[in-house]
Amino acid sequence: MIVSIGCDHGGFEMKEKIVELLKGINIQVIDEGCYSEDSVSYPIFAQKVANDVQKEKATYGILICKTGVGMSIAANKQKGIRAALVCDKEVAALARKHNDANVICFGANYITFENAIECLLTFINEAFEGGRHASRVKLLEQE
């Protein structure tokens, strides 16, 4: 499994901790930045992570900003991306099971690192159920 991760300045500290944890459990990480707490524009990093998922360089994407809202909006503008702003384990599971989400977003100011990790591990270990959900997900791809 390969995950691509990106953040803006508001999510930098959490991103660094997540990268370290993922590498510690032998998950390959593509770190798309940002690389400091200097102010940056979140859409740049959302697009980088979305591109990695679109091109299948990464199985999943992780995006972090202060609220998670900007990152989820920016990622969802990219074709084939289904980004979910997640705040608890149940939402993380349902995002995968029902929506086939391929990018998870966190609001660093609204979720603890421990809770984010619990959500992330749930997200990457859950499978899309398909069935009645497949036709709904397919509707998302229509222009």
DSSP 9-62: GGGHHHHHHHHHHHHHTT-EEEE----SSS---HHHHHHHHHHHHHTTS-SEEE
Could you tell me which of 44, 37, 49 has the C-alpha nearest to residue 82? 49
Structure-token pair, residue 89: 């384990």
> What is the mean pLDDT of the segment spanning 109-117?
98
Q: 135 pLDDT exceeds 80?
A: yes
- pLDDT at residue 143, as a whole number: 62
Fold of 2-140: Ribose 5-phosphate Isomerase B; Chain: A, (3.40.1400)
**pLDDT tens sequence across 30-82:** 999 999 999 999 999 999 999 999 999 999 999 999 999 999 999 999 999 99
- The size of the chain, in residues, is 143
Positions marked active-site: 65
Phi-psi region of 100 (alpha: psi -120 to 50; beta: other; left: phi over 0): left
The strand order across the sheet containing 83-85 reads 28-31, 2-7, 60-65, 103-107, 83-85
> What is the mean pLDDT of the segment spanning 1-20?
98
> What is the mean pLDDT of the segment spanning 116-125?
98
Structure-token pair, residue 69: 């809202």
- pLDDT at residue 70, as a whole number: 97
- Place 132 in a pLDDT band, splitting at 50, 70 and 90: confident
Could you tell me which of 45, 94, 52 has the C-alpha nearest to residue 73? 45
Residue 124: CB atoms within 10 Å: 17
